[in-house]
């Protein structure tokens, strides 16, 4: 018997599945369409069949699986293994996904939300490797988060932790989709960064981005970071707004769970050191002076597109491995 | 043999010591002067002798002690058992307090900072009883904090967690003693509350507090809350500033570690429901609308002056009890 862990990353469009050995080395992986409109029975049958196919190709069998990890967006009752509902999979309502997978594959199933799973992957084998306390931000449409404290994910009393994007940093500031004002998400997500640039152009700001808005009808955060690299002043100003909001949030997390490392992922990785250095600049500008905070590291994620399956496999090993 | 735990609360002026049974019932307690200027050897000898005296009075002996818990202000290397230095005890520099107590009393010693110890006491037998996730604020000269996540204190990578008073809620706002601007401590500590009232009076605000300032030369937060109860408008405005700052911090903690209960202690307890209800009001005003947050409880601490010894005893039991 070879100790094998399965990692499953469920998205609205694709399901990614990976097999890992006891050292979390990726043995094989695949991606299949989710076909969410076929409903949970069909989707989960397909997941199970895909796992079996991967096992067969790797000369492994069901009995080699020690445990399965799975990540989905919320809301869900993770510890009970139930998806409550899903924006991208409308037919998934109160689906006992862990039980259904367990019935088909035999092994125990560990379940968490996609941001926590990605956070855990980075923590175990990515940018967080070697520390015990980490904070993780995903900068996309919104801002997701994860917190590892003393080597364990923080889940909170109703398993909603960590909604770091909705920490308020500018009370009565910009409207956030959540109904609050001044959330870090309203300034620093990929979408908010693009929106702030668009608003500035509509207000008459001069910038090389104006041409992009004219030609494409919209601006993305990637555009902002590209024009930043090319020296555009507005792009610099907008990026500074993003960086300062993130820096203040980093400071607040330092004073809250005291991470050794803060890891960012999402579209902004395209900006790389240009953005990271601005975050570090504002961090040093706003941080206290009673004590040097030179040991905290602000960096980008390293796992790339496999984060979801690696994190899920790592969670399975964390709970059921030796 | 009776399973006994010792809790020690070290302050600059007094050392409080309590004996507890396995159910954390207080068997006996005492308070002795710290005599910090005599240096660590003498102070720790006295602590040990006081424990022995308490044991003798309770018909117990050294062998009945399962473990000893001790709390002091930082900075310290808690897990190594060493006080680095102490504002109130200038002769305490790199003092291996755990080793020194263990040599004198035989039992293992658990060590943490005073805010975490108080937090743990409230968590185990006070206002946090029955929940797994709690956040704790002490509102005094500054604002101290503690976070319990899934039944464990959050310590952070360098054992400085949780410095909740220095979370920035108003970037570029009021100066904080720590060198940051806009910390919650700069608005809502007992001292900052009093200071904001004083500044308003100096700026010409009308208030019944003016007479207090004239007569006593200073205002305390207790004065503010007393005049609030009597209907003074300025006292209401100042209290609202305190309550709103605390409410935003509560929201940020909800989105971070998702506590079921947030517990306040310190001078502001004198204000009781007057202040708590304003915190709840601003919490409901600023909180998101995508989901009801009606399960989070905002309340005051219940243990009173024995918090320190109870928390220390509870930490000792947590680590070494059955």
- Give the DSSP letter string of B234-290: HHHHHHHHHHHHHHHHHHHHHHHT--SEEEEEEGGGGGTHHHHHHHHHHHHHHS-SS
Instruction: Decide if A289 and B178 are in contact by the 8 Å CB cutoff.
Output: yes
Chain A positions touching B176 (Cβ under 8 A) are 288
Q: What is the percent of chain B with per-residue pLDDT over 90, rounded to a whole number? A: 92
> A102 is written with which tokens?
């367990």
Q: How far is B269 from chain A (nearest CA, A)?
A: 23
pLDDT of residue A322: 80
pLDDT of residue B270: 73
Q: Is B257 on the interface with A (CB under 8 A)?
A: yes
Mean pLDDT in residue range A15-23? 97
Picking from A158, A165, A259, the nearest residue to B258 by CB comes out as A158
- CA-nearest residue to A286 within chain B is B180
Chain B positions touching A168 (Cβ under 8 A) are 169, 248, 251-252, 286
- CA-nearest residue to B181 within chain A is A286
Mean pLDDT in residue range A316-322? 94
Q: Is the pLDDT of residue A267 over 80?
A: no
Q: How far is B140 from chain A (nearest CA, A)?
A: 18
Q: Is B24 on the interface with A (CB under 8 A)?
A: no
Q: Dump pLDDT digits (tens) for B153-197.
A: 999 999 999 999 999 999 999 999 999 999 999 999 999 999 999
Q: Dump pLDDT digits (tens) for B270-292.
A: 788 999 999 999 999 999 999 89
Q: What is the percent of chain A with per-residue pLDDT over 90, rounded to a whole number? A: 92
Give residues 139 to 158 of A whose Cβ lies within 8 Å of B.
147, 149-150, 152, 154-158
* Residues A19/A54, Cβ–Cβ less than 8 Å: yes
Picking from B177, B179, B288, the nearest residue to A178 by CB comes out as B288
Q: Name the residue among B245, B149, B274, B283 with its Cα closest to residue A256.
A: B149
Q: Is the pLDDT of residue A268 over 80?
A: no
Instruction: Decide if A156 and B169 are in contact by the 8 Å CB cutoff.
Output: no
Q: Dump pLDDT digits (tens) for A120-136.
A: 999 999 999 999 999 99
pLDDT of residue B183: 98
pLDDT of residue A269: 74
Chain A positions touching B286 (Cβ under 8 A) are 168, 171, 180-181
Instruction: Decide if B150 and A147 are in contact by the 8 Å CB cutoff.
Output: no
List the single best residue of A169, A171, A180, A248 to mutate versus B (max B Cβ within 10 A): A171
Average pLDDT along chain B = 96
How many residue pairs from chains A and B have C-beta atoms closer than 8 A? 150
**A103/B184 Cα distance (integer angstroms):** 51
| CATH 3.40.640.10 is right for the domain spanning A4-121+306-320 | no
Q: Dump pLDDT digits (tens) for B6-51.
A: 999 999 899 999 999 999 999 999 999 999 999 999 999 999 999 9
List the single best residue of A168, A186, A297 to mutate versus B (max B Cβ within 10 A): A168
pLDDT of residue B182: 98
Tell me if residue B80 falls in helix, strand or coil. Answer: helix
Q: How far is A59 from chain B (nearest CA, A)?
A: 40
pLDDT of residue A9: 96
Chain A positions touching B154 (Cβ under 8 A) are 149-150, 154, 256-258
Chain B positions touching A252 (Cβ under 8 A) are 167-168, 252
State the complex-level ipTM.
0.96
Q: Is the pLDDT of residue A278 over 90?
A: yes
Q: Is the pLDDT of residue B238 over 90?
A: yes
User: Which residues in B73-125 belong to E strands, given as ranges?
Assistant: 76-77, 82-83, 109-113
Picking from B163, B179, B248, the nearest residue to A168 by CB comes out as B248
Cis link prior to A68 (omega < 30° from 0)? no
Annotated domain spans of chain A: 4-121+306-320, 130-302
Q: Return the H-helix or E-strand segment holding A248.
A: helix A233-256
Tell me if residue B107 falls in helix, strand or coil. Answer: coil
How far is CA B144 from each of CA A201, A256, B266, rounded to the nearest angstrom?
Answer: 44, 11, 10
pLDDT of residue A308: 95
- CA-nearest residue to B143 within chain A is A255
* Residues B221/B190, Cβ–Cβ less than 8 Å: yes
- CA-nearest residue to B162 within chain A is A256
Chain B positions touching A160 (Cβ under 8 A) are 258
**B162/B112 Cα distance (integer angstroms):** 12
- CATH number for the region B130-302 comes to 3.30.420.40
Instruction: Decide if B286 and A180 are in contact by the 8 Å CB cutoff.
Output: yes
Instruction: Decide if A257 and B131 are in contact by the 8 Å CB cutoff.
Output: no
Picking from B161, B180, B258, the nearest residue to A161 by CB comes out as B258
Q: Is A85 on the interface with B (CB under 8 A)?
A: no
Q: How confident is residue A142, by pLDDT bands cut at 50, 70 and 90?
A: very high
Q: How confident is residue B88, by pLDDT bands cut at 50, 70 and 90?
A: confident
List the single best residue of B73, B143, B168, B245 to mutate versus A (max A Cβ within 10 A): B168
Q: Is the pLDDT of residue A175 over 90?
A: yes
Q: How confident is residue B87, by pLDDT bands cut at 50, 70 and 90?
A: confident
Q: Which residues contact B96 (CB under 8 A, 6 or more apart)?
A: B80, B81, B82
pLDDT of residue A88: 85
pLDDT of residue A138: 94
Mean pLDDT in residue range B77-101? 94
Instruction: Decide if A295 and B157 are in contact by the 8 Å CB cutoff.
Output: yes
Q: Is the pLDDT of residue B210 over 80?
A: yes
List the single best residue of A78, A136, A257, A282 to mutate versus B (max B Cβ within 10 A): A257
Instruction: Decide if B286 and A168 are in contact by the 8 Å CB cutoff.
Output: yes
Q: Is the pLDDT of residue A1 over 90?
A: no
Q: How far is A295 from chain B (nearest CA, A)?
A: 10
Q: Is the pLDDT of residue B268 over 90?
A: no
Average pLDDT along chain A = 96
Q: How confident is residue B54, by pLDDT bands cut at 50, 70 and 90?
A: very high
**B71/B82 Cα distance (integer angstroms):** 12
- Domains A4-121+306-320 and A130-302 fall in the same CATH topology: yes
Chain A positions touching B87 (Cβ under 8 A) are none
pLDDT of residue B272: 84
Q: What is the percent of chain A with per-residue pLDDT over 70, rounded to a whole number? A: 100
Q: Could you give the dihedral angle defined by the CA atoms of residues A167, B258, A118 and A320, in that order, rounded to the nearest 10 degrees? A: 170
Q: How far is A134 from chain B (nearest CA, A)?
A: 9
Instruction: Decide if B131 and A288 are in contact by the 8 Å CB cutoff.
Output: no
Chain A positions touching B161 (Cβ under 8 A) are 256-258
pTM of the model: 0.96
Mean pLDDT in residue range B219-241? 96
pLDDT of residue B2: 86
Q: Which residues contact B69 (CB under 8 A, 6 or more apart)?
A: B5, B6, B7, B8, B109, B110, B111, B112, B117, B311, B312, B313, B314, B315, B316, B317
First-to-last CA distance in chain A?
14
pLDDT of residue B133: 98
Instruction: Decide if A156 and B171 are in contact by the 8 Å CB cutoff.
Output: no
Q: How many CB atoms lie within 10 A of CB B48?
A: 20
């Amino acid at each position: 018997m070879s100790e094998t862990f399965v990692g499953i990353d469920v998205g609205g469009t694709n399901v990614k599945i990976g097999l890992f050995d006891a050292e979390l080395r990726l043995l094989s992986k695949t991606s299949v369409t989710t076909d969410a409109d076929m409903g949970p029975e069909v989707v989960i049958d397909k997941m199970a069949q895909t796992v079996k196919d991967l096992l067969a190709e790797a000369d492994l069998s069901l009995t080699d699986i020690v445990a399965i990890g799975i990540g989905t967006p919320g809301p869900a009752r993770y510890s009970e293994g139930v998806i409550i509902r899903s924006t991208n999979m409308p037919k998934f309502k109160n689906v006992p996904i862990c039980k259904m997978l367990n019935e088909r594959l035999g092994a125990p199933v560990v379940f968490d939300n996609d941001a926590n799973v990605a956070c855990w992957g980075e923590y175990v084998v990515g940018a967080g490797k070697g520390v015990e306390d980490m904070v993780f931000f995903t900068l996309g449409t919104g801002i997701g988060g994860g917190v590892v404290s003393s080597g364990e994910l923080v889940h909170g009393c109703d398993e909603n932790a960590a909604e770091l994007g909705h920490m308020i940093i500018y009370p009565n500031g910009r409207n956030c989709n959540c109904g609050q004002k001044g959330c870090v998400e309203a300034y620093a997500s990929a979408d908010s960064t693009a929106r702030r640039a668009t608003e500035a152009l509509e207000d008459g700001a001069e910038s090389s981005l104006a041409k992009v808005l004219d030609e494409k009808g919209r601006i993305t955060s990637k555009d902002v970071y590209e024009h930043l690299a090319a020296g555009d002043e507005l792009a610099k100003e907008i990026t500074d707004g993003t960086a300062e909001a993130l820096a203040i949030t980093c400071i607040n997390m330092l004073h809250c769970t005291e991470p050794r490392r803060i890891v960012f992922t999402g579209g902004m990785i395209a900006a790389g050191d240009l953005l990271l250095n601005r975050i570090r600049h504002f961090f040093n500008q706003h941080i206290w002076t009673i004590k040097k905070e030179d040991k905290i590291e602000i960096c980008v994620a390293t796992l790339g597109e496999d984060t979801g399956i690696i994190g899920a496999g790592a969670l399975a090993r964390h709970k059921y491995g030796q």
